[in-house]
A and B are shown apart, each in its own frame.
Chain A
């Protein structure tokens, strides 16, 4: 579309948001890093040097090799191998794939849930507001990890045999259920402000139905803070996922996420094989840091007071 209308591209390039992005070195570096991580994860099946899930290619003789630049390292295992002879670099790429998948989908789901409930509570007020917001308070009084552990535990107990298949569903559900509260509270606050604005009253006087007012008038005007929150929450969700996996209630060892990799490597940390856990850890830091930096930039760029 931008090609069809060159001025649209120019306008976009010149818009305040893009301008602020171009003039924020932290945001540009963060965006580059995040893009790199996402590309590595998305393209893993095609660009990874090895397939860590293909057991046939694993050689136990190659297990616990250090990174290539160390004395005993091998050039074909650039970041070394783990205890089963898997290439760390490939495992990282596939692990990031799972981490990102879980992070993004759980954030998407919690945005959906939180924004809907927050909108509903803020718009109707009264009883709805009380019920939804008190539920939020209850959710907030538990640490997110605890709730996630509970749900993961219950999920496991209920479907013991289907655990492998359900692991990701349980993981995403548990992160969603702890994450939606923030969106609900944010959106409810903005909705309380917006619903008293005169354009909403004008729509009511016209006879527009409540659901349409919520969807077409209020929703677009309360999404700004949600966007910022969601960006930062992606990082939080990835970390929560890693934590759960590290604790052994997350991604199964057969399809390891970054957290699983860190947990596996943790056992070898004191026997000197630091690379098995440090590289997944670095990857995790890299992803969450770049996403957080992007979120911080977005928050400042969208804040009219700082502009």
Chain B
């Protein structure tokens, strides 16, 4: 039926779109023959890893292509009218009035100098013939619709007075202000915390359904796509790999890239198998392979794939550009296995080794850390930051000193060879814990014991280097964690030379090559600079550097959150392999519960500087106890159930400078009562997990 609707009235039609960037080293083709259409009221998801060209597609539709980029051929039609060659004035009239846009960063998509109301009224009046008073009334109605409480008062507030989630609601209100028929949303929830992301997706979905607006939703998050979209387009290297109904693409991918992409996403409901990984990475624009752009990474590539570029052709309910579809059809030829299973196997991702974990041991280490002497023992760890205004301002305005309690009393233990994960939304203090453990910060209170010795006393003492050798860290941003002016060889050799682990330069060089090989790189990479590597390769270099001193304990601060999912799978698998080979102990910081479930033995959930739940991984995901944990797990968009409606999550993380009284989660908690508002709960062992919640401890939670 959807296909029928398509043919009847394509609201937006993109045909053979080619976008080029002329550079002095030749013309780069960023989009190459992209075609799709969106029907009125339909939600089309556009997915792909970074560099796939999905944002460029969105920018071309709204006419915001950054020069020197230009549309070289093909075209875009909106409601039958060609829009890619409009003059600026025609484009301006179209944008906002008929096509709305929502961008990733709610902080920069609003003008900080104007109140939210001024921006809304301006947009409304620019496109609709209404008086100032009517426009204001409309603005109030819009804000109410997007779920902003006390909309009339909030209208006069400035963007900085709104939280991140609230700002994105305002951006949505702005995009909807002139009742556009198409909305282009480019990563609208990527900058938001998972609990807020769920609210925004729900809002976007509801408003578009109510108004019958079509949406082009660009995102890298398959969960968001699965929950929101009717159809999905998978892009690779500026080309369309596959397009079809969302269920079909996610569960019965016709293109090996889509299949690999889906399989490499850690699933919150899945089992603890080793992740499927796609080797290699997205090609750069100046080195797109001939034939099918995906063939160098494809496990099933045929000789033909390297020579001839496949076109989109019908498969099942959708379209895919892959020669294997033909191969499946040709399987009828004699000598080839033509059973359906063999053809299915052609498209199935390869690999799949179990990530073996000793469940009983993991449980024991979480609940009774004393049973096995833990490698790392954290007791009542706290770190407060002085965020007071400069003293002169403080004196003049008679303000007291202000302290940010980033971490406020955290206890846990990690057994040797195990992985402990810390999860929580931004600002919960998980990264501060990481930096405390490696000695980048001094604790305000409490203690970290590493292998029986007081770590912070040692960091300040004469044997600091000896301890630093045993504790290393892997950072989040692969672009910032390597000095751009150093060669890879120098980067990895630095710890060796610093700790005098290599007697000569030649020995250091040899050791560096060994380290690079252990993370899947080679001697040929020694003299290269970081910018010559992709994000995933850089993260491998970071890991090689961290391993240089043969540490026992690795603190990993969001090591994969800046990476694409296929590359994330490579890095997570590598970390698992290294842990098994070297007996490493990990502290894994992440906001991604699915990843955490995949890698860890025990999980600590943090909220505003405190642990609220600490449990073995299986137990935490099977029976989350704390209301916050339940909310977090429920807020994750699932790939499995398309169109799932979920229990709405309320509110956002409060300002950590003024944490709520009692249990800091009580303003958002459905189970809160008078005791929760006044008395801070302590961690108690309840049925195999440690939980800090009055409701759970009193048995009110079910």
CB of B254 to closest CB in A, whole Å: 40
- CA A199 – CA B485 in complex, angstroms? 11
B481 adjacent to chain A (CB < 8 Å): yes
CB of B456 to closest CB in A, whole Å: 14
- B contact residues around A208 at 8 Å (CB): 494, 498
Asked whether A206 lies within 8 Å of B483 as measured between CB atoms, the reply is: no
A135 adjacent to chain B (CB < 8 Å): no
- A contact residues around B302 at 8 Å (CB): none
A54 adjacent to chain B (CB < 8 Å): no
Which B596-650 residues sit within 8 Å CB-CB of chain A?
none
B438 adjacent to chain A (CB < 8 Å): yes
Cβ contacts B467-493/A at 8 Å (1 or 0 each): 011011101110011111100000000
Which of B471, B476, B483, B549 touches A217 (beta carbons < 8 Å)? Answer: B483
Which of A19, A202, A203, A221 touches B24 (beta carbons < 8 Å)? Answer: A19
Across the interface, name the chain A residue whose C-beta is closest to B459. A207
Which B23-54 residues sit within 8 Å CB-CB of chain A?
24
- A contact residues around B439 at 8 Å (CB): 205
CB of B406 to closest CB in A, whole Å: 15
Asked whether A205 lies within 8 Å of B438 as measured between CB atoms, the reply is: yes
Asked whether A198 lies within 8 Å of B481 as measured between CB atoms, the reply is: yes
- CA A34 – CA B24 in complex, angstroms? 28
- B contact residues around A221 at 8 Å (CB): 483-485
Asked whether B549 lies within 8 Å of A202 as measured between CB atoms, the reply is: no
With A198-B476, A198-B477 given, is the CB distance from A206 to B484 under 8 Å?
no
Asked whether A207 lies within 8 Å of B468 as measured between CB atoms, the reply is: yes
| Max count, chain B CB within 10 A of own CB: residue among A19, A197, A198, A201 | A198
Asked whether B465 lies within 8 Å of A207 as measured between CB atoms, the reply is: yes
Which of B480, B482, B485, B498 touches A206 (beta carbons < 8 Å)? Answer: B498
- B contact residues around A76 at 8 Å (CB): none
Across the interface, name the chain B residue whose C-beta is closest to A202. B481
CB of A169 to closest CB in B, whole Å: 35
Which A137-183 residues sit within 8 Å CB-CB of chain B?
none
A11 adjacent to chain B (CB < 8 Å): no
CB of B432 to closest CB in A, whole Å: 13
CB of B277 to closest CB in A, whole Å: 24
What number of A residues sit within 8 Å (CB to CB) of B? 15
- CA A141 – CA B74 in complex, angstroms? 60
What number of B residues sit within 8 Å (CB to CB) of A? 29
- B contact residues around A272 at 8 Å (CB): none
CB of B608 to closest CB in A, whole Å: 23
Cβ contacts B526-559/A at 8 Å (1 or 0 each): 0000000000000000100110010000000000
With A199-B481, A199-B483 given, is the CB distance from A206 to B549 under 8 Å?
yes
A25 adjacent to chain B (CB < 8 Å): no
Across the interface, name the chain B residue whose C-beta is closest to A208. B498
Interface of A is mostly: helix
The number of A-B residue pairs with CB atoms under 8 Å apart is: 53
Across the interface, name the chain B residue whose C-beta is closest to A206. B495
CB of B250 to closest CB in A, whole Å: 34
- B contact residues around A204 at 8 Å (CB): 440
- CA A207 – CA B501 in complex, angstroms? 13
- A contact residues around B481 at 8 Å (CB): 197-199, 202
- A contact residues around B471 at 8 Å (CB): 205
Which of A197, A207, A217 touches B480 (beta carbons < 8 Å)? Answer: A197
- A contact residues around B549 at 8 Å (CB): 206
CB of A304 to closest CB in B, whole Å: 12
Asked whether A206 lies within 8 Å of B468 as measured between CB atoms, the reply is: yes
Asked whether A198 lies within 8 Å of B475 as measured between CB atoms, the reply is: yes
Across the interface, name the chain B residue whose C-beta is closest to A219. B485
- CA A23 – CA B440 in complex, angstroms? 47
- CA A55 – CA B480 in complex, angstroms? 63
- B contact residues around A207 at 8 Å (CB): 464-465, 468-469, 498-499
Asked whether B498 lies within 8 Å of A202 as measured between CB atoms, the reply is: no
Asked whether A205 lies within 8 Å of B468 as measured between CB atoms, the reply is: yes
Cβ contacts B328-341/A at 8 Å (1 or 0 each): 00000000000000
Asked whether B499 lies within 8 Å of A201 as measured between CB atoms, the reply is: no
Asked whether A205 lies within 8 Å of B472 as measured between CB atoms, the reply is: yes
Which A19-48 residues sit within 8 Å CB-CB of chain B?
19
Asked whether A198 lies within 8 Å of B480 as measured between CB atoms, the reply is: yes
A6 adjacent to chain B (CB < 8 Å): no
- CA A220 – CA B494 in complex, angstroms? 16
Asked whether B440 lies within 8 Å of A205 as measured between CB atoms, the reply is: yes
Which A219-239 residues sit within 8 Å CB-CB of chain B?
220-221
- CA A245 – CA B549 in complex, angstroms? 60
| Max count, chain B CB within 10 A of own CB: residue among A19, A202, A221 | A202
Asked whether A201 lies within 8 Å of B440 as measured between CB atoms, the reply is: yes
- A contact residues around B485 at 8 Å (CB): 220-221
- CA A207 – CA B549 in complex, angstroms? 11
Cβ contacts A176-200/B at 8 Å (1 or 0 each): 0000000000000000000001110
Asked whether B477 lies within 8 Å of A206 as measured between CB atoms, the reply is: no
- B contact residues around A217 at 8 Å (CB): 483
Across the interface, name the chain A residue whose C-beta is closest to B467. A207
- CA A199 – CA B491 in complex, angstroms? 9
- CA A179 – CA B308 in complex, angstroms? 63
Across the interface, name the chain A residue whose C-beta is closest to B435. A201
- CA A220 – CA B485 in complex, angstroms? 7
- A contact residues around B469 at 8 Å (CB): 207
List 10 A–B pairs whose Cβ atoms lie within 8 Å, in order of A's numbering. A199-B480, A201-B473, A202-B546, A203-B494, A205-B471, A205-B472, A206-B495, A206-B499, A220-B485, A221-B483
4 new A-B contacts at CB < 8 Å, known A199-B483, A206-B468, A207-B469: A199-B481, A206-B499, A217-B483, A220-B483
The 8 closest A-B pairs by CB, nearest first: A198-B481, A198-B475, A207-B468, A199-B483, A206-B495, A197-B480, A220-B485, A198-B480
